[in-house]
Amino acid sequence: MSRATLQRLGVELPLLPITSVGSLPKPLELVAARARFARGALSQRELDELASEAILFWLQRQEELGLDVLVDGEMYRGDMVAYFATALDGMSLGGLVRSYGNRYYHKPVITGAVRWQQPITVGWWHFAQRHTRRPVKGIVTGPYTMMDWSFDEYYPSRRSACLALATELHKEVAALVHAGARIVQIDEPALSARPAELPLAIEANRILTAGLDAYFITHACFGAFDTIYPGLLQLPTDNLDLAISQSAVDWLAVFRRDPFDKDLSVGVLDVHTHAVETVADVRARIRRSLDLVRPEALWVGPDCGLKTRTVDEATAKLRVMVEAVTAARGELPASASK
Amino acid sequence: MDLRLANHSSYPRIGPSSHEQRLRRAHAARERDEIDDTALLVIEHSVMTEIIGEQTAAGLDLATDGQVRWADPVSHLMAQLSGVRLNGLLRLFDTNFYYRQPVVTARLTRARSQLVTDYRHAQSATEIPVKPVLTGPYTLARLSLIEPRAYRRYHELAEDLSVIIAHEVRDLVAAGATIVQLDEPAICTGPPEDIRLLRRLFEPIYDARGGAEIAIATYFTDSDPLYPQLNSVPADVVAVDLTTSTSLAETIADTGAAKTLALGVVDGRNTKLETPALVAEVLDRILRRYALDTVYLQPSCGLEFLPRDRAREKLKLLGAIRAAFLGGGES
């Protein structure tokens, strides 16, 4: 079981490990600094210093709140695809495209052969891990999502673009693992976009993680995962983060038909509303999730990155989540192994 | 044969310049309660006027309002009906665009027209006709969650939506619309037998059209397997996405067309610009035995999946494709 993988890697976690998905709100001074940087009024070094301060703020905040597996909050990233696209040769940022409501992002364009030149996130991961005893996740956007969420003006097919990205991003994941990251999250929210392409996504993720010894989490969100289940279980990962606690799908019936054989991360906070959940609501979502998998296999987090919320909203939501998990741990039978 | 250039439906509402981003700022200001709905509407309509100008500048014969005021293709229409609340975000088909999923909690009722104000504003901004575009009843029903006390099955919800949309079409035609497009991308992903349901759903809408034309549009998913049946849906125009399918062009060339075609010849989801001469070759094969008077050339789907500057180029490309097809040498 995956908990054995964690123990082998030297990671001891309580039951129902609590984590945040990845992004956290940037403090207002960092938001303003990023705008000044974009106008050329701030140097990269000055921006990085502010991002480092924000990472330290969030590490301390996560520890105080009681999260078990920490994130650096992606204080140095904008969009999850654009960030890696700007760091890879052969990709560039395109114009603004709307993702929902009043949210826009610079959708990348593949304009040539994709090439990884040097570590992209490793320095930031190392910085964060140096400042906490709790494990910090390395987080990389997966090749299928990188392909699906980019315009492609170079490769002849989606498959060739996806596999090229997998080969190059493997070097980034390898660099994280070699630097000491024991838990690596691959963000693949596009996973269910085209069910017929699930084999391609699996093939690409096998290339991505081949030969690397880490506990892998695959994060996906807001998709129709029932359409790619049980094929989804073929992904080379230890933990699937599916944001299904508020899903209309009867996952209990789905899992009874085709047993779930990985660790499951469930999203119990709606990151797209300002409203802070009640502890009772979150406890109810955790209880429902405990019907799906054994306690030893369940992780708890928000349904996606919290970057669209304010610092206060995100803090309040995380506090509620920790309180609900703490209560849920108290309700677990004594037989649940630690 | 009359080759007319048309926009499909949505259009990017912001662009690279600060002026072109005023709507984004206005929405943020509205969220902070710094402006009211009336002030927001003024800006939304000014953007609508601006993008209609871009469509006329590109030489189009048929424009849309760009669906500038729509949050997404699903919740915009559904949220205005009683009996609906909105749920969390869901991915729209295989795009990386998200919509708020409607939850239908009671039998639907429509209090007022949903699109006539926008249509009137858009039409007042141009001499060329403006095509109102609505998401169709089948797709709206398939993308909604239905509480059992409201409807037993999506078929029943779709039937009620069909009646509501027929009222909307009647209002739009009374306001001057000469063609109304209904987007039904979900029909390509639903059970094949649902084409019979789709035919039923379009009957009241077709009856409500008066002197106007009704277009049915499919996109995102390969509509080749459904193409012959699409010709039997009560509609005047069938709009198809030629960029998704590798075989649809040949199917149309082989089977012909019973209705006016609106051919999605430029990819509304990828920035790569098509080569007019190559598209013209495909058109030549498709239209060799086409016996109707009019063909629309348009993007494969709404252009909101592209950055604004590339959407402009895609619209201009339509003219180059028409010229290449007609032998005008613009390719």
Give the one of A97, A101, A152 whose C-beta lies nearest to B305's C-beta: A97
pLDDT at B273 over 60: yes
Q: What value does the mean pLDDT of chain B take?
A: 95
Cβ(A257)–Cβ(B126) under 8 Å? no
Residue among A104, A152, A193 whose CB faces B94 most closely:
A193
Distance in angstroms (rounded) separating the CA atoms of residues B325 and A143: 39
> DSSP character for A227?
G
Q: How confident is the model over A84-142, as pLDDT tens digits? A: 999 999 999 999 999 999 999 899 999 999 999 999 999 999 999 999 999 999 999 99
Average pLDDT in the A278-304 region?
94
Beta bridge partners of A105: A97
Cα–Cα distance measured from residue A171 to residue A116, given in angstroms and rounded to the nearest whole number: 7
Give the distance from residue B96's alpha carbon to the nearest chain A alpha carbon, in angstroms. Answer: 6
Q: Which of B14, B99, B270 sits opposite A104 (nearest CB)?
A: B14
3 state DSSP class of A93: strand
Which letter does DSSP use for residue A193 in this model? S
Nearest to B41 by CA among B109, B120, B110: B120
Nearest by CB to residue A153, choosing from B97, B272, B307, is B272
Answer for the pair A218, A235: CB distance below 8 angstroms, yes or no: yes
| Residue A250 pLDDT > 90 | no
Other beta carbons within 10 Å of B86? 15
Distance from the Cα of A3 to chain B's closest Cα (Å) equals 31
Least CB–CB distance from A96: residue in B14, B72, B271: B14
Distances (CA, A) of A306 to A19, A22, A273, A285, B277: 12, 8, 10, 18, 47
Sequence-ordered strand ranges (E) for B137-190: 145-146, 179-183
User: In chain B, pLDDT over 70 holds for what percent of residues?
Assistant: 99
How much is the pLDDT for B212?
A: 98
Q: What is the maximum span of chain B, computed from C-alpha positions, in angstroms?
A: 61
B38 contacts chain A (CB < 8 A): no
Strands (E), B119-195: 133-135, 145-146, 179-183
Coil, helix or strand at residue B233:
coil
Residue A135 three-state SS: coil
Interface test with A, best of B21, B30, B99, B271 (most A CBs within 10 A): B271
Residues B50-54 have a mean pLDDT of 97
**pLDDT-based confidence at residue B328 (cuts at 50, 70, 90):** low
Subunit contact A101:B71, Cβ cutoff 8 A: yes
Q: What's the CA gap between A46 and B103, in Å, rounded?
A: 47
Beta strand pairing status for B82-91 and B98-109? antiparallel
B187-224 tens-digit pLDDT? 999 999 999 999 999 999 999 999 999 999 999 999 99
A224 touches chain B (CB under 8 A): yes
3-state secondary structure at position A269: coil
Q: What residue in A sits closest to B14 (Cα-Cα)?
A: A96
Size of interface A-B (CB pairs under 8 A): 79
Q: Where are the domains of chain A?
A: 3-81+121-146+156-333
Over residues B295-324, mean pLDDT = 98
Closest chain A C-alpha to B255 CA, distance in angstroms? 28
Mean pLDDT throughout B160-185?
98
**Cα–Cα distance, A337 to A324 (Å, whole number):** 20
Structure tokens at B176: 């001057």
Establish if A109 touches chain B: CB-CB under 8 angstroms. yes
> Alpha-carbon distance A236 to A225, whole Å?
16
Q: Which among A50, A123, A76 has a CA at the least distance from the CA of A42? A: A50
- Which whole-number Å values give the CA distances from A5 to A99, A234, A242, B155, in the listed order? 37, 18, 20, 48
Q: What is the mean pLDDT of residues B275-282?
A: 96
* Distance separating the N- and C-terminal Cα atoms of chain B: 20
- H helix runs in chain A, sequence order: 2-8, 28-38, 44-65, 80-87, 122-130, 143-148, 158-179, 198-209, 251-257, 279-290, 311-331
Determine contact: A4 vs chain B, CB below 8 A: no
**Residues in chain A closer than 8 A to B97 (CB atoms):** 98-100
Q: Is B69 on the interface with A (CB under 8 A)?
A: no
- Cβ contact, residue pair B97, A99, below 8 Å: yes
Whole-angstrom Cα distance, residue B208 to residue B219?
Answer: 24
Q: Quick one: pLDDT at residue B246?
A: 87
pLDDT single digits (tens) A171-230: 999 999 999 999 999 999 999 888 999 999 999 999 999 999 999 999 998 777 888 999
| Contact between B15 and A95 using a beta-carbon 8 Å cutoff | yes
In this structure, the dihedral spanned by the alpha carbons of residues A171, A176, A180 and A185, taken in order and rounded to 10 degrees, is -120
Q: Smallest Cα–Cα separation from B270: which of A174, A75, A147?
A: A147
Of residues A143, A142, A144, A150, the one with CA closest to residue A94: A150
Percent of chain B's residues with pLDDT above 90: 93
The burial of A102, by beta-carbon neighbours within 10 Å (0-12 exposed, 13-18 middle, 19 or more buried), is given as: middle
Look at A13-27, A216-230, B73-87, B303-317 and tell me which has the smallest mean pLDDT: A216-230
Q: For the domain with range A3-81+121-146+156-333, which CATH number is right: 3.40.50.360, 1.25.40.80, 3.30.420.480, 3.20.20.210?
A: 3.20.20.210
Q: Which of B24, B89, B304 sits opposite A102 (nearest CB)?
A: B24
CB contact, 8 Å: A151 with chain B? yes
CB neighbours of residue B18 within 10 Å: 8
pLDDT in tens, A160-172: 999 999 999 999 9
Check if A27 contacts B (Cβ < 8 Å).
no
Could you tell me the two tokens for A105? Answer: 């992002």
pLDDT tens-digit series, residues B75-108: 999 999 999 999 888 889 989 899 999 999 999 9
Phi and psi angles of residue A141, each rounded to the nearest 5 degrees, phi first: -75, 135
For residue A337, the model assigns a pLDDT of: 53
Cβ contact A23:A77 at 8 Å:
yes
* pLDDT at A334 exceeding the cut of 80: no
Q: What pLDDT, in 10s, does the model give residues B97-149?
A: 999 999 999 999 998 888 999 999 999 999 999 999 999 999 999 999 999 99
Chain mean pLDDT for chain A: 94
> pTM for this structure?
0.87
User: Would an 8 Å CB–CB cutoff place B4 in contact with chain A?
Assistant: no
- For position A79, what pLDDT does the model report? 87
What's the length of chain B? 331
What is the C-alpha separation between B314 and A95, in angstroms, rounded?
A: 14
Q: Position A281: which residue type?
A: D
pLDDT in tens, A108-118: 999 999 999 99
Whether residue B330 has pLDDT greater than 50? no
β-bridge pairing A89-100 and A103-115: antiparallel
Contact B151, B104 (CB under 8 A): yes
Of B88, B89, B306, Cβ closest to residue A97? B306
Give residue B76's Cα distance to chain centre. Answer: 13
Helix (H, G, I), strand (E, B) or coil at A310: coil
pLDDT higher than 50, residue B331:
no
Calculate what percentage of chain A has a pLDDT beyond 70. 98
Q: What is the pLDDT of residue B150?
A: 96
8 Å CB contact between A330 and A279: no
Provide the 3-class DSSP secondary structure of residue B20: helix
pLDDT at A333: 82
**Residue A42 — left, alpha, or beta (φ > 0 → left; ψ -120 to 50 → alpha)?**
beta
